[in-house]
C-alpha cells in the first residue's frame, strides 16, 4: 500500500526528516511546488538517512532551484524506486531564503 510524507513551509527553512521506517518500502516519487521561482542560490537536498548509520547516508537528489527558475519538480522512475529498509528515513533540506511557500510530497510503496 502506498503512502506519502507531506512537508509544507510557509516561508521558513525546511529541515524535515520523516520518522524512520518500520517496514521495507520504496521511495517512488518526489514532488515539489514553490509559490514563486527562487532568486537566491539555495540548494534543495533529498537525502537517504540510512538506518545503519550516518556513514551510509547519501544524497538522492539535489538542485539549485534559482538556476533553473524552478517552481515545480516531479521526480520518479530510475532516480527513485530506491529500496528502503527498517530504520531508514528521508531528509529534505532547503534554506528557502526567498521565503516562498513550498509543498513537498515523498511518495512510497
Q: pLDDT tens digit string along 49-92?
A: 999 999 999 999 999 999 988 999 999 877 678 899 999 999 99
What confidence score (pLDDT) does residue 68 get? 84
Domain boundaries, the chain: 3-108
CA nearest to 30, candidates 82, 98, 95, 68: 82
pLDDT band at 1 (very low <50, low <70, confident <90, very high): confident
What confidence score (pLDDT) does residue 82 get? 83
pLDDT > 70? residue 95: yes
pLDDT > 80? residue 24: yes
Q: What is the mean pLDDT of residues 34-46?
A: 96
* CB-facing half-sphere around the CA of 72: CA atoms within 13 A: 1
CATH number for region 3-108: 2.60.120
pLDDT > 70? residue 33: yes
What confidence score (pLDDT) does residue 28 get? 93
> What cell was used for 7?
512537508
Instruction: Please give the distance of CA 57 from its chain centroid, rounded to a whole number.
Output: 14
Q: What is the mean pLDDT of residues 9-34?
A: 96
Q: To which H or E segment does residue 85 belong?
A: none
Evaluate whether 18 touches 107 at the Cβ level (below 8 Å): no
For 54-75, b where at least 16 C-beta lie within 10 A, e where not — what string? eeeeeebeebebbeeebeebeb
The overall pTM is greater than 0.85: yes
Kindly compute the dihedral angle of the four CA atoms of residues 109, 105, 29, 66, in this order, to the nearest 10 degrees: -160
Amino acid at each position: 500500500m502506498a503512502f506519502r510524507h507531506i512537508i509544507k513551509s510557509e516561508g521558513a527553512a525546511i529541515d524535515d526528516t520523516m520518522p524512520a521506517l518500520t517496514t521495507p518500502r520504496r521511495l517512488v516519487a518526489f514532488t515539489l511546488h514553490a509559490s514563486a521561482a527562487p532568486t537566491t542560490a539555495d540548494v534543495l537536498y533529498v537525502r537517504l538517512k540510512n538506518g545503519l548509520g550516518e556513514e551510509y547516508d547519501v544524497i538522492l537528489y539535489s538542485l539549485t532551484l534559482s538556476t533553473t527558475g524552478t517552481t515545480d519538480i516531479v521526480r520518479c522512475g530510475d532516480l527513485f524506486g530506491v529500496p528502503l529498509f527498517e530504520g531508514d528515513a528521508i531528509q529534505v533540506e532547503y534554506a528557502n531564503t526567498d521565503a516562498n511557500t513550498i509543498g513537498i510530497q515523498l511518495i512510497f510503496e
